[in-house]
Amino acid sequence: MNSSLTQPLARYSKQTLLIDADDTLWENNIYFERAIASFISFLDHKVHTVEQVREHLNLCERATIAAHGYGVESFRRSLIDCFEQLTESTITAERHAQILSFTDAIASNEIELLPGVGETLEELSRRHRLIMVTKGNQIEQTDKLERSGLRPWFSAVEVLAEKNVPAYRALIAAHQCDCGSTWMIGNSPKSDINPALAAGINAVFIPHDFTWVLEHEMVDAPPGSEQLMELGSFRELIGYF
């Protein structure tokens, strides 16, 4: 393969790369999808279709996240709420335990890195400042990072309660980022791309086939002089940075 054909003449030098984790560095949402599939067959609702149950679970998840934040514990709570609301009954201890068992694999899974992530981060870390920027539960996210073996490539790690415009502005200030040479890299238009562009930094969108439905949104055009790039895989970053 002649890589010079696909690479730009010069790479960006000495940039600050803010990098999302779930479904950008490693698989995440597929484990939740498996738990949801098990939950829906267990519920085996006689009136609502699979799509309707899923729709109701999305509502429960939005409510739980608003009250308790992101993370596996919130997800468990959403499944229980959904079960109780759709069956109009209080759940038995046995069924409660059964539903929770569907989520066991989420926290205990081996971290499954997306293709090329390890070597790409290692190379990028030699030329740029890398900061992991994820949202969710602090303990769960830092535990995943430790288990991933990727911690050495990051100069800092930020676990945010929400990835919105004020959160990005605070991050930019805290790490003294120069907006023109700072990029947010991730799979979610809603959390990674649109708020980063709105906060005045550049963005690299790397779509994942199984992005969480609550993260679905159209990618906005940059509001000003910010740059927006879309890549097919994480390892393609090497061609540009």
Q: Which residues bind Mg ion (CB under 5 A)?
A: 20, 22-24, 187-188
Per-residue burial over 71-102, b if 16 or more Cβ lie within 10 Å, else e, is: bbebbbbbbbbbbeebeeeebeeebbeebeeb
What is the residue type of 154?
Answer: F
Q: CB-wise, 20 or 236, nearer to Mg ion?
A: 20
Shortest Cβ 135–Mg ion spacing (Å): 8
The span from the CA of 145 to the CA of 132, in Å, is 9
Shortest Cβ 208–Mg ion spacing (Å): 7
The span from the CA of 217 to the CA of 197, in Å, is 14
The span from the CA of 1 to the CA of 101, in Å, is 47
Shortest Cβ 185–Mg ion spacing (Å): 10
Sequence-ordered list of residues with C-beta below 8 angstroms from that of 160, at least 6 positions apart, any chain: 133, 134, 135, 167, 171
Shortest Cβ 3–Mg ion spacing (Å): 27
Q: CB-wise, 15 or 188, nearer to Mg ion?
A: 188
Q: CB-wise, 91 or 228, nearer to Mg ion?
A: 228
Q: CB-wise, 24 or 137, nearer to Mg ion?
A: 24
